[in-house]
Amino acid sequence: MTVDKVRAIFERAGCTGTLLVQPLHGEGEFGLDPDQLVVPASVVKVLVALAAETWFAEGRLDPRERVVLGAAERTPGTVGVSLFEDEVALSLRDMVVLMLTVSDNPCTDALMNRLGVDTLNATAARLGLRNTVVRSDLRTLLDSIGQDLGRAGWADLVDWSARASAAESAGADEKLPRVRALTPGAGTGTTARDMVRLLRLLWSGQAGPAAACARVRAVMGRQLTRHRIASGFRTPVRVAAKSGGLAGIVRNEVGVVSYPDGRQYAAAVFTRSRPGADDAAINAAIGAATAHAVASLHRETA
C-alpha cells in the first residue's frame, strides 16, 4: 500500500511518476516503476558535469580556459546566459557552476560540444548506466521539437506561437507530447534506477577522480531550485540536487537527502503531466513522494 500512496500523490497532482530512493549506506530501496524509460531533461546535466570535471582532473581540459558565448548562436533557455543580450566570456569550470545551479543551457551546450556526445555515452556505459543514452546537445533537442511540430526549429516555433490562432495553438499542444524529445527511447533517455546509481557512485567517490566527484557534489548542493525534492524536508536536513523540465510536460529531480545523524538517501523522481495540470502541485508532489519514500526506508532500517 505504500507504493500505492506515492502513486496517489502523483495522481492528485495531475501527473504520472516514476521514483527510486535508496540509502547511500546499507541495503533496501523504495521504487515506483524505477526501470521505466523516462525523459531526463536537464537532469542529464549531472552526467555532463561529471564528464567535464573528470577531464579537468585528468588534465584533458583546462578548467580555467575562457570561452566566449556569442549572443547570436546561444542555446535558448529561460534562465542564465540565455537571457543575456551580449556575448559572455566564462571559464569552463564556471560553466559547470551555472549549468548545475541555474540549469544554464548555453553553458551546457558549450561543455557538451567540447566533450562530445560519445564521451557522455562512454561515461554512462563505464558507470553501468545501462538505460542512459544521450542523443544530442540541447539546441538540437529543442530544434527537434519545433521540427516535429511543423516548424523550421525552436526559434521558428516561438515566433509562430506568438501569432498563432487559438485553434492552431490547441493543435500544437495536442501534438506536443508525441514529439521525439518527449518520447522515452526516441531522444535522450534514462531511468530512475540509473540516476540513483549515478548519485551513489558520485557520493562514494567511485564515479571518477575524487576531485571530480567532490566538485559535482558541492555544486549540486548550491542548486537554486528548492521547490521539488527539498520541499519535502526541513532544516537541518540538506538536499543536493539537480532538477529538469521540458515543454511544461516533464518535471524531474534527482538528488541526495542528508540528515544530521549521517543518514543519506539518493533519490530520483521523474514526472509527466496531464493536460491542465498545475506546475506547483507537481513540484510539491515530487517533494512529498520523496519524503514518503525516505520515511518508509527509515522505518524499515530503524
Q: pLDDT value at position 302?
A: 47
- Partners of 270 in beta bridges: 18, 252
CB-based contact 181:44 (threshold 8 Å): no
CB 31 within 8 A of CB 19: yes
How far apart, in whole angstroms, are the C-alpha atoms of residue 281 and residue 279?
5
DSSP SS3 for 77: coil
pLDDT tens sequence across 260-269: 999 999 999 9
Q: What is the pLDDT of residues 122-169, one digit of tens each?
A: 999 999 999 999 999 999 999 999 999 999 999 999 999 999 999 999
Please enumerate in sequence order all residues whose Cβ is within 8 A of that of 75, keeping only pairs 6 or more positions apart, or say none: 82, 105, 106, 108, 109, 137, 138, 139, 142
> How is residue 222 written as a grid cell?
548550491
User: Which residues are within 8 A (CB) of 72 and not within 5 positions of it... i.e. 6 or more apart?
Assistant: none
- The percentage of residues in the chain with a pLDDT greater than 70, rounded to a whole number, is 99
* Span 249-296, pLDDT tens digits: 999 999 999 999 999 999 999 999 998 889 999 999 999 999 999 999
User: What pTM, to 2 d.p., does this model score?
Assistant: 0.96
Is residue 13 within 8 Å of 218, Cβ to Cβ?
A: no
Tell me the domains of the chain and their CATH numbers.
2-134+188-301 (3.40.710.10)
Quote the pLDDT of residue 275.
Answer: 85
270 in helix, strand or coil? strand
Q: What is the model's pLDDT at position 301? A: 55
Averaged pLDDT of the chain: 96
Alpha-carbon distance of 97 to 123, in angstroms, equals 20
Coil, strand or helix at 68: strand
